[in-house]
Amino acid sequence: MALAADPAARPGAADPMRPEVARVTRRRPDGPDVVTLWLDWPGWKGSAPGQFNMMGLPGLGEVPISVSGGTGTPGRVMQTIRAVGPVSRALAALEADEALTIRGPYGRPWPVAGRQGKPVLIVAGGLGLAPLRPVIRHFARHRAEHPSVDLVIGARSPADLFFHDEYEDWREAGLSVALTVDHAPPGWPGRVGVVTPLIRTEGPVAAFLCGPEIMMRVSAERLTGHGADAGDIHVSLERNMQCGVGLCGHCQLGPVLLCRDGPVLDWAAARPLMRIEEL
Amino acid sequence: MKIEGLDHILGQHRLFRDLDPDFLRLVAGCAANRVFPPGTRLARHGEPMSHIYLVRAGHVAAEIAAPGRGRLRILTVGPDEVLGLSWLVPPFKWGTDAETVDEVRAVEIDADCLRRKCEADPAIGYAVLKRFMTPIVERLHATRLQMLDVYGPRR
Protein backbone atom coordinates (compact mmCIF):
# COMPACT_ATOMS: atom_id res chain seq x y z
CA MET A 1 0.00 0.00 0.00
CA ALA A 2 1.53 3.30 -1.04
CA LEU A 3 0.54 5.94 1.46
CA ALA A 4 2.68 8.83 0.30
CA ALA A 5 0.29 11.64 -0.51
CA ASP A 6 -0.10 12.64 -4.14
CA PRO A 7 1.25 16.15 -4.80
CA ALA A 8 -2.18 16.96 -6.22
CA ALA A 9 -3.58 16.33 -2.78
CA ARG A 10 -1.84 19.30 -1.23
CA PRO A 11 -3.69 22.56 -0.64
CA GLY A 12 -2.39 25.47 -2.58
CA ALA A 13 -2.16 27.96 0.26
CA ALA A 14 1.22 28.57 1.93
CA ASP A 15 -0.32 27.63 5.28
CA PRO A 16 -2.51 24.62 4.47
CA MET A 17 -4.60 25.10 7.61
CA ARG A 18 -5.41 28.77 7.14
CA PRO A 19 -9.02 29.16 6.07
CA GLU A 20 -10.11 31.61 3.44
CA VAL A 21 -13.47 33.23 2.86
CA ALA A 22 -15.89 32.01 0.21
CA ARG A 23 -19.32 33.31 -0.68
CA VAL A 24 -22.40 31.35 -1.72
CA THR A 25 -23.52 32.25 -5.21
CA ARG A 26 -26.27 29.68 -5.55
CA ARG A 27 -28.08 27.22 -3.30
CA ARG A 28 -30.10 24.22 -4.48
CA PRO A 29 -31.96 21.81 -2.17
CA ASP A 30 -31.14 18.31 -3.42
CA GLY A 31 -33.30 16.19 -1.14
CA PRO A 32 -34.86 16.14 2.32
CA ASP A 33 -31.54 16.94 4.05
CA VAL A 34 -29.12 17.54 1.16
CA VAL A 35 -28.13 20.92 -0.27
CA THR A 36 -25.71 21.84 -3.04
CA LEU A 37 -23.89 25.15 -2.75
CA TRP A 38 -21.98 26.92 -5.52
CA LEU A 39 -19.22 29.03 -4.01
CA ASP A 40 -17.24 31.96 -5.23
CA TRP A 41 -13.80 31.36 -3.68
CA PRO A 42 -11.00 33.51 -5.14
CA GLY A 43 -8.30 31.21 -3.71
CA TRP A 44 -9.71 28.04 -5.28
CA LYS A 45 -7.32 26.55 -7.82
CA GLY A 46 -9.23 23.37 -8.55
CA SER A 47 -8.73 19.81 -7.32
CA ALA A 48 -8.62 16.19 -8.37
CA PRO A 49 -11.83 14.09 -8.23
CA GLY A 50 -12.48 12.77 -4.72
CA GLN A 51 -10.65 15.45 -2.74
CA PHE A 52 -12.41 17.41 -0.02
CA ASN A 53 -12.44 20.86 1.51
CA MET A 54 -12.85 21.84 5.14
CA MET A 55 -15.88 24.14 5.29
CA GLY A 56 -16.80 26.05 8.38
CA LEU A 57 -18.51 28.88 10.15
CA PRO A 58 -16.83 30.97 12.86
CA GLY A 59 -17.88 29.86 16.31
CA LEU A 60 -19.37 26.58 15.06
CA GLY A 61 -16.42 24.65 13.63
CA GLU A 62 -15.44 22.93 10.41
CA VAL A 63 -16.50 19.79 8.57
CA PRO A 64 -14.94 17.93 5.63
CA ILE A 65 -17.08 18.14 2.49
CA SER A 66 -16.12 16.40 -0.74
CA VAL A 67 -15.87 18.52 -3.85
CA SER A 68 -18.85 17.66 -6.06
CA GLY A 69 -18.00 20.06 -8.89
CA GLY A 70 -15.64 22.75 -10.02
CA THR A 71 -12.55 20.56 -9.88
CA GLY A 72 -11.28 22.39 -12.95
CA THR A 73 -12.72 25.86 -12.48
CA PRO A 74 -10.45 28.15 -10.44
CA GLY A 75 -12.43 30.55 -8.30
CA ARG A 76 -15.65 28.52 -8.34
CA VAL A 77 -16.42 25.28 -6.52
CA MET A 78 -19.52 23.18 -5.93
CA GLN A 79 -20.07 21.40 -2.60
CA THR A 80 -22.93 19.06 -1.71
CA ILE A 81 -23.74 18.91 1.99
CA ARG A 82 -25.91 16.59 4.04
CA ALA A 83 -27.29 18.34 7.10
CA VAL A 84 -26.58 15.93 9.93
CA GLY A 85 -24.86 17.93 12.69
CA PRO A 86 -24.68 21.53 13.95
CA VAL A 87 -22.00 22.65 11.47
CA SER A 88 -23.38 20.88 8.40
CA ARG A 89 -26.92 22.05 9.24
CA ALA A 90 -25.72 25.66 9.45
CA LEU A 91 -23.74 25.33 6.22
CA ALA A 92 -26.70 23.76 4.45
CA ALA A 93 -28.87 26.66 5.57
CA LEU A 94 -26.62 29.29 3.96
CA GLU A 95 -28.28 31.38 1.28
CA ALA A 96 -26.88 33.17 -1.72
CA ASP A 97 -24.41 35.97 -0.86
CA GLU A 98 -23.68 34.59 2.63
CA ALA A 99 -20.07 33.81 3.56
CA LEU A 100 -18.26 30.84 5.08
CA THR A 101 -14.70 29.74 5.78
CA ILE A 102 -13.06 27.16 3.56
CA ARG A 103 -9.67 25.55 3.04
CA GLY A 104 -8.37 22.74 0.88
CA PRO A 105 -8.34 20.65 -1.18
CA TYR A 106 -7.14 17.72 0.87
CA GLY A 107 -6.77 13.98 0.51
CA ARG A 108 -5.83 11.42 -2.08
CA PRO A 109 -8.12 11.53 -5.10
CA TRP A 110 -9.87 8.83 -7.09
CA PRO A 111 -7.24 7.37 -9.46
CA VAL A 112 -9.15 7.91 -12.67
CA ALA A 113 -6.11 8.23 -14.94
CA GLY A 114 -4.41 5.28 -16.58
CA ARG A 115 -7.54 3.09 -16.68
CA GLN A 116 -7.87 3.08 -20.47
CA GLY A 117 -9.13 -0.16 -21.97
CA LYS A 118 -10.79 -1.42 -18.81
CA PRO A 119 -14.51 -1.55 -18.13
CA VAL A 120 -15.47 0.98 -15.47
CA LEU A 121 -17.99 0.53 -12.69
CA ILE A 122 -19.09 3.38 -10.44
CA VAL A 123 -21.34 2.56 -7.48
CA ALA A 124 -22.79 5.50 -5.55
CA GLY A 125 -24.90 5.04 -2.45
CA GLY A 126 -26.76 7.96 -0.88
CA LEU A 127 -24.57 11.04 -0.55
CA GLY A 128 -21.70 9.01 -2.07
CA LEU A 129 -22.87 10.29 -5.42
CA ALA A 130 -21.48 13.76 -4.59
CA PRO A 131 -17.75 12.86 -4.41
CA LEU A 132 -18.24 10.54 -7.40
CA ARG A 133 -19.78 13.21 -9.63
CA PRO A 134 -16.36 14.42 -10.87
CA VAL A 135 -15.44 10.76 -11.56
CA ILE A 136 -18.65 10.24 -13.54
CA ARG A 137 -18.01 13.40 -15.55
CA HIS A 138 -14.42 12.31 -16.19
CA PHE A 139 -15.50 8.96 -17.62
CA ALA A 140 -18.33 10.60 -19.56
CA ARG A 141 -15.66 12.72 -21.26
CA HIS A 142 -13.40 9.68 -21.81
CA ARG A 143 -16.16 7.17 -22.60
CA ALA A 144 -14.52 6.04 -25.85
CA GLU A 145 -11.46 4.79 -23.97
CA HIS A 146 -13.42 2.10 -22.13
CA PRO A 147 -15.47 -0.86 -23.34
CA SER A 148 -18.21 0.05 -20.85
CA VAL A 149 -18.89 2.57 -18.12
CA ASP A 150 -21.64 1.45 -15.73
CA LEU A 151 -23.04 3.70 -13.04
CA VAL A 152 -25.21 2.23 -10.26
CA ILE A 153 -26.94 4.71 -7.94
CA GLY A 154 -28.64 3.58 -4.74
CA ALA A 155 -30.68 5.74 -2.42
CA ARG A 156 -33.06 5.43 0.49
CA SER A 157 -36.11 6.52 -1.50
CA PRO A 158 -36.86 8.28 -4.81
CA ALA A 159 -36.99 11.60 -2.91
CA ASP A 160 -33.38 11.04 -1.80
CA LEU A 161 -31.99 10.74 -5.33
CA PHE A 162 -30.20 13.90 -6.46
CA PHE A 163 -28.40 15.33 -9.50
CA HIS A 164 -31.39 13.93 -11.52
CA ASP A 165 -31.01 16.58 -14.18
CA GLU A 166 -27.65 15.06 -15.11
CA TYR A 167 -28.66 11.39 -15.43
CA GLU A 168 -29.82 11.89 -19.01
CA ASP A 169 -26.60 13.74 -19.91
CA TRP A 170 -24.60 10.81 -18.56
CA ARG A 171 -26.71 8.33 -20.53
CA GLU A 172 -26.25 10.40 -23.67
CA ALA A 173 -22.50 10.29 -23.07
CA GLY A 174 -22.74 6.50 -23.27
CA LEU A 175 -22.87 5.57 -19.60
CA SER A 176 -25.24 2.87 -18.42
CA VAL A 177 -27.12 4.41 -15.48
CA ALA A 178 -29.11 2.14 -13.14
CA LEU A 179 -31.08 3.48 -10.19
CA THR A 180 -32.44 1.60 -7.21
CA VAL A 181 -34.00 2.65 -3.91
CA ASP A 182 -34.57 0.83 -0.63
CA HIS A 183 -38.17 1.97 -0.28
CA ALA A 184 -40.56 3.40 -2.82
CA PRO A 185 -44.06 4.83 -2.76
CA PRO A 186 -46.71 3.56 -5.19
CA GLY A 187 -46.07 4.70 -8.73
CA TRP A 188 -42.25 4.64 -8.61
CA PRO A 189 -41.28 3.21 -11.99
CA GLY A 190 -37.72 2.29 -11.06
CA ARG A 191 -36.09 -0.51 -9.17
CA VAL A 192 -36.47 -1.29 -5.48
CA GLY A 193 -33.70 -3.16 -3.71
CA VAL A 194 -30.02 -2.92 -2.89
CA VAL A 195 -27.27 -2.07 -5.35
CA THR A 196 -25.50 -5.44 -5.38
CA PRO A 197 -27.77 -7.27 -7.88
CA LEU A 198 -27.06 -4.43 -10.32
CA ILE A 199 -23.33 -5.11 -10.18
CA ARG A 200 -23.02 -7.47 -13.11
CA THR A 201 -19.44 -7.06 -14.24
CA GLU A 202 -17.35 -10.19 -14.58
CA GLY A 203 -13.56 -10.15 -14.48
CA PRO A 204 -11.22 -7.17 -14.39
CA VAL A 205 -12.87 -3.81 -13.85
CA ALA A 206 -11.87 -0.37 -12.59
CA ALA A 207 -14.37 0.19 -9.79
CA PHE A 208 -15.10 3.34 -7.78
CA LEU A 209 -17.39 2.84 -4.78
CA CYS A 210 -18.69 5.51 -2.42
CA GLY A 211 -21.46 5.35 0.13
CA PRO A 212 -22.21 3.67 3.44
CA GLU A 213 -19.34 1.37 4.42
CA ILE A 214 -21.55 -1.72 4.48
CA MET A 215 -22.65 -0.98 0.92
CA MET A 216 -19.05 -0.52 -0.23
CA ARG A 217 -17.99 -3.73 1.52
CA VAL A 218 -20.66 -5.96 -0.02
CA SER A 219 -20.12 -4.34 -3.42
CA ALA A 220 -16.34 -4.85 -3.27
CA GLU A 221 -16.77 -8.44 -2.11
CA ARG A 222 -19.15 -9.12 -4.97
CA LEU A 223 -16.64 -7.65 -7.44
CA THR A 224 -13.67 -9.65 -6.11
CA GLY A 225 -15.90 -12.73 -6.14
CA HIS A 226 -16.43 -12.10 -9.84
CA GLY A 227 -12.76 -11.77 -10.68
CA ALA A 228 -11.97 -8.09 -10.07
CA ASP A 229 -8.55 -7.26 -8.61
CA ALA A 230 -8.69 -5.67 -5.14
CA GLY A 231 -6.14 -3.10 -6.33
CA ASP A 232 -8.52 -1.96 -9.06
CA ILE A 233 -11.40 -1.34 -6.64
CA HIS A 234 -11.36 2.00 -4.85
CA VAL A 235 -13.50 3.14 -1.94
CA SER A 236 -13.81 6.44 -0.11
CA LEU A 237 -13.82 6.24 3.67
CA GLU A 238 -15.11 8.80 6.11
CA ARG A 239 -13.92 9.50 9.63
CA ASN A 240 -13.68 12.51 11.92
CA MET A 241 -11.38 14.71 9.83
CA GLN A 242 -10.29 17.93 11.50
CA CYS A 243 -6.89 19.30 10.49
CA GLY A 244 -6.96 17.87 6.96
CA VAL A 245 -3.19 17.53 6.76
CA GLY A 246 -2.41 14.47 8.87
CA LEU A 247 -1.35 16.29 12.05
CA CYS A 248 -4.13 15.95 14.58
CA GLY A 249 -4.83 12.23 14.28
CA HIS A 250 -8.61 12.49 14.66
CA CYS A 251 -9.20 10.61 11.42
CA GLN A 252 -6.83 7.74 12.21
CA LEU A 253 -8.08 4.40 10.95
CA GLY A 254 -5.58 1.76 12.02
CA PRO A 255 -2.27 2.71 10.39
CA VAL A 256 -3.94 5.24 8.09
CA LEU A 257 -4.63 8.94 8.58
CA LEU A 258 -7.60 9.25 6.27
CA CYS A 259 -7.33 12.99 5.62
CA ARG A 260 -3.79 12.51 4.29
CA ASP A 261 -3.62 8.87 3.14
CA GLY A 262 -7.28 8.72 2.10
CA PRO A 263 -10.14 9.29 1.87
CA VAL A 264 -9.75 7.13 -1.24
CA LEU A 265 -8.08 3.77 -0.64
CA ASP A 266 -7.88 0.70 -2.79
CA TRP A 267 -9.76 -2.34 -1.56
CA ALA A 268 -6.54 -4.22 -0.78
CA ALA A 269 -5.74 -1.51 1.78
CA ALA A 270 -9.30 -0.84 2.95
CA ARG A 271 -10.53 -4.42 3.33
CA PRO A 272 -8.53 -5.31 6.48
CA LEU A 273 -9.46 -1.98 8.09
CA MET A 274 -13.17 -2.43 7.43
CA ARG A 275 -13.15 -5.84 9.09
CA ILE A 276 -12.14 -4.46 12.49
CA GLU A 277 -15.27 -3.69 14.46
CA GLU A 278 -13.51 -1.25 16.79
CA LEU A 279 -12.32 0.90 13.87
CA MET B 1 -33.71 -17.88 -38.87
CA LYS B 2 -32.56 -20.18 -36.10
CA ILE B 3 -35.20 -20.93 -33.48
CA GLU B 4 -33.67 -21.50 -30.07
CA GLY B 5 -35.01 -24.38 -27.99
CA LEU B 6 -36.37 -23.61 -24.56
CA ASP B 7 -33.61 -25.66 -22.94
CA HIS B 8 -31.09 -23.37 -24.65
CA ILE B 9 -32.94 -20.26 -23.45
CA LEU B 10 -33.10 -21.70 -19.92
CA GLY B 11 -29.37 -22.38 -20.03
CA GLN B 12 -28.70 -18.71 -20.80
CA HIS B 13 -30.43 -17.57 -17.62
CA ARG B 14 -28.08 -17.08 -14.68
CA LEU B 15 -30.09 -19.57 -12.60
CA PHE B 16 -29.47 -22.51 -14.90
CA ARG B 17 -26.25 -21.47 -16.67
CA ASP B 18 -23.97 -24.49 -17.22
CA LEU B 19 -26.57 -26.91 -15.86
CA ASP B 20 -26.30 -30.42 -17.31
CA PRO B 21 -28.08 -30.47 -20.72
CA ASP B 22 -30.20 -33.49 -19.73
CA PHE B 23 -31.45 -31.62 -16.67
CA LEU B 24 -32.10 -28.56 -18.77
CA ARG B 25 -34.29 -30.57 -21.13
CA LEU B 26 -36.27 -31.95 -18.19
CA VAL B 27 -36.81 -28.49 -16.75
CA ALA B 28 -37.70 -27.18 -20.21
CA GLY B 29 -40.50 -29.76 -20.30
CA CYS B 30 -42.18 -27.71 -17.54
CA ALA B 31 -41.47 -24.31 -19.08
CA ALA B 32 -42.90 -21.84 -21.57
CA ASN B 33 -41.46 -18.67 -23.08
CA ARG B 34 -43.73 -15.72 -22.27
CA VAL B 35 -44.05 -11.98 -22.85
CA PHE B 36 -46.11 -9.85 -20.44
CA PRO B 37 -47.17 -6.26 -21.09
CA PRO B 38 -46.64 -3.61 -18.39
CA GLY B 39 -49.13 -3.83 -15.54
CA THR B 40 -49.69 -7.58 -15.77
CA ARG B 41 -50.46 -9.14 -12.41
CA LEU B 42 -48.23 -12.22 -12.09
CA ALA B 43 -48.88 -13.05 -8.44
CA ARG B 44 -51.27 -12.28 -5.65
CA HIS B 45 -50.33 -12.67 -2.00
CA GLY B 46 -51.70 -15.90 -0.51
CA GLU B 47 -52.69 -17.48 -3.80
CA PRO B 48 -51.20 -20.82 -4.92
CA MET B 49 -47.76 -20.40 -6.46
CA SER B 50 -48.43 -22.14 -9.72
CA HIS B 51 -45.52 -20.64 -11.65
CA ILE B 52 -41.93 -19.51 -11.27
CA TYR B 53 -40.66 -16.72 -13.54
CA LEU B 54 -37.09 -16.52 -14.80
CA VAL B 55 -36.95 -12.89 -15.95
CA ARG B 56 -35.01 -12.41 -19.19
CA ALA B 57 -35.86 -8.74 -19.82
CA GLY B 58 -37.92 -6.08 -18.09
CA HIS B 59 -38.83 -5.72 -14.43
CA VAL B 60 -41.42 -7.11 -12.04
CA ALA B 61 -42.33 -5.30 -8.82
CA ALA B 62 -43.00 -7.35 -5.69
CA GLU B 63 -45.45 -5.53 -3.46
CA ILE B 64 -47.22 -6.02 -0.16
CA ALA B 65 -50.50 -4.32 0.64
CA ALA B 66 -50.28 -2.74 4.11
CA PRO B 67 -53.52 -1.54 5.71
CA GLY B 68 -53.51 2.24 5.88
CA ARG B 69 -50.25 2.50 3.90
CA GLY B 70 -51.36 1.27 0.51
CA ARG B 71 -49.23 -0.98 -1.63
CA LEU B 72 -45.57 -1.00 -0.61
CA ARG B 73 -43.06 -1.94 -3.26
CA ILE B 74 -40.43 -4.02 -1.49
CA LEU B 75 -38.36 -5.39 -4.35
CA THR B 76 -37.91 -5.24 -8.08
CA VAL B 77 -36.92 -8.37 -9.95
CA GLY B 78 -34.99 -7.72 -13.15
CA PRO B 79 -33.11 -9.48 -15.94
CA ASP B 80 -31.36 -12.71 -14.92
CA GLU B 81 -33.31 -12.78 -11.64
CA VAL B 82 -36.10 -15.05 -10.40
CA LEU B 83 -39.61 -14.34 -9.22
CA GLY B 84 -41.09 -17.12 -7.08
CA LEU B 85 -38.45 -18.54 -4.75
CA SER B 86 -40.80 -20.33 -2.34
CA TRP B 87 -42.12 -22.77 -4.94
CA LEU B 88 -40.56 -25.75 -3.15
CA VAL B 89 -41.84 -24.89 0.32
CA PRO B 90 -45.34 -25.89 1.50
CA PRO B 91 -48.00 -24.53 1.37
CA PHE B 92 -46.71 -23.36 -2.08
CA LYS B 93 -48.28 -19.90 -1.90
CA TRP B 94 -47.12 -16.45 -2.96
CA GLY B 95 -45.73 -14.27 -0.18
CA THR B 96 -46.18 -11.03 -2.12
CA ASP B 97 -48.14 -9.51 -4.96
CA ALA B 98 -46.21 -9.12 -8.19
CA GLU B 99 -46.86 -6.94 -11.22
CA THR B 100 -44.82 -6.17 -14.30
CA VAL B 101 -43.36 -2.64 -14.35
CA ASP B 102 -42.49 -2.66 -18.05
CA GLU B 103 -42.71 -5.27 -20.78
CA VAL B 104 -41.33 -8.48 -19.34
CA ARG B 105 -39.90 -11.42 -21.23
CA ALA B 106 -39.62 -14.45 -18.99
CA VAL B 107 -39.45 -18.19 -18.92
CA GLU B 108 -42.51 -19.35 -17.02
CA ILE B 109 -42.00 -22.66 -15.22
CA ASP B 110 -44.94 -24.75 -14.05
CA ALA B 111 -44.14 -25.16 -10.36
CA ASP B 112 -46.25 -28.34 -9.91
CA CYS B 113 -44.52 -29.96 -12.86
CA LEU B 114 -41.04 -29.06 -11.60
CA ARG B 115 -41.87 -30.25 -8.08
CA ARG B 116 -43.04 -33.62 -9.47
CA LYS B 117 -39.82 -34.05 -11.45
CA CYS B 118 -37.72 -33.10 -8.44
CA GLU B 119 -39.61 -35.56 -6.23
CA ALA B 120 -39.34 -38.33 -8.81
CA ASP B 121 -35.58 -37.97 -9.33
CA PRO B 122 -33.57 -36.76 -6.32
CA ALA B 123 -30.56 -36.06 -8.57
CA ILE B 124 -32.62 -33.52 -10.51
CA GLY B 125 -34.17 -32.25 -7.32
CA TYR B 126 -30.77 -31.66 -5.72
CA ALA B 127 -29.33 -30.00 -8.83
CA VAL B 128 -32.34 -27.69 -9.13
CA LEU B 129 -32.44 -26.94 -5.41
CA LYS B 130 -28.74 -25.99 -5.42
CA ARG B 131 -29.42 -23.57 -8.25
CA PHE B 132 -32.27 -21.92 -6.36
CA MET B 133 -30.21 -21.56 -3.19
CA THR B 134 -28.05 -18.82 -4.76
CA PRO B 135 -30.88 -16.33 -5.37
CA ILE B 136 -32.49 -17.31 -2.06
CA VAL B 137 -29.32 -16.51 -0.11
CA GLU B 138 -28.64 -13.37 -2.16
CA ARG B 139 -32.15 -12.13 -1.44
CA LEU B 140 -31.72 -12.88 2.26
CA HIS B 141 -28.52 -10.82 2.34
CA ALA B 142 -30.12 -8.02 0.34
CA THR B 143 -33.11 -7.95 2.69
CA ARG B 144 -30.76 -7.62 5.68
CA LEU B 145 -29.11 -4.62 4.03
CA GLN B 146 -32.47 -3.03 3.28
CA MET B 147 -33.49 -3.53 6.92
CA LEU B 148 -30.29 -1.78 8.06
CA ASP B 149 -31.46 1.38 6.30
CA VAL B 150 -27.82 2.15 5.44
CA TYR B 151 -28.67 5.43 3.70
CA GLY B 152 -30.76 6.70 6.59
CA PRO B 153 -29.63 8.78 9.57
CA ARG B 154 -27.19 7.02 11.88
CA ARG B 155 -28.91 5.58 14.93
pLDDT in tens, A126-153: 999 999 999 999 999 999 999 999 999 9
To the nearest whole Å, the CA of B62 is away from the closest chain A CA by 9
Q: Does B147 touch chain A (CB under 8 A)?
A: no
* B145-151: average pLDDT: 85
What share of chain A in percent tops pLDDT 90?
69
User: Chain A residue closest to B59 (CA)?
Assistant: A191
Average pLDDT, chain A: 89
pLDDT over 90 (residue A257): no
Q: Of the ranges A53-57, A262-266, B12-16, B111-115, which one carries the lowest mean pLDDT score?
A: A262-266
To the nearest whole Å, the CA of A184 is away from the closest chain B CA by 6
Facing residue for B78 by CB, picked from A156, A191, A194: A191
Q: Do B70 and A192 touch (CB under 8 A)?
A: no
Count CB pairs under 8 A between chains A and B. 66
Q: Does B155 touch chain A (CB under 8 A)?
A: no
ipTM of the complex: 0.80
pLDDT band at A260 (very low <50, low <70, confident <90, very high): confident
Res A232: pLDDT: 95
Residues contacting residue A39 through CB under 8 Å, at least 6 positions apart: A22, A23, A24, A25, A70, A76, A77, A78, A79, A100, A102
Q: Does B142 touch chain A (CB under 8 A)?
A: yes
Q: How far apart are CA A45 and CA B26, in angstroms?
A: 66
Which pTM was predicted? 0.87
Mutation target among B18, B55, B151 for the A interface, most CBs of A within 10 A: B151
List A residues 85-124 in contact with B (Cβ-Cβ < 8 A).
none
Q: Does A183 touch chain B (CB under 8 A)?
A: yes
Q: Which of A211, A237, A235 is nearest to A223 (CA)?
A: A235
Average pLDDT, chain B: 90
Q: What is the pLDDT of residues B31-70, one digit of tens each?
A: 999 999 999 999 999 999 999 999 999 999 999 888 887 7
| Terminal-residue alpha carbon distance, chain A | 19
Q: Does A218 touch chain B (CB under 8 A)?
A: yes
Q: How far apart are CA B95 and CA B89, in angstroms?
A: 11
Res A202: pLDDT: 86
pLDDT band at A6 (very low <50, low <70, confident <90, very high): very low
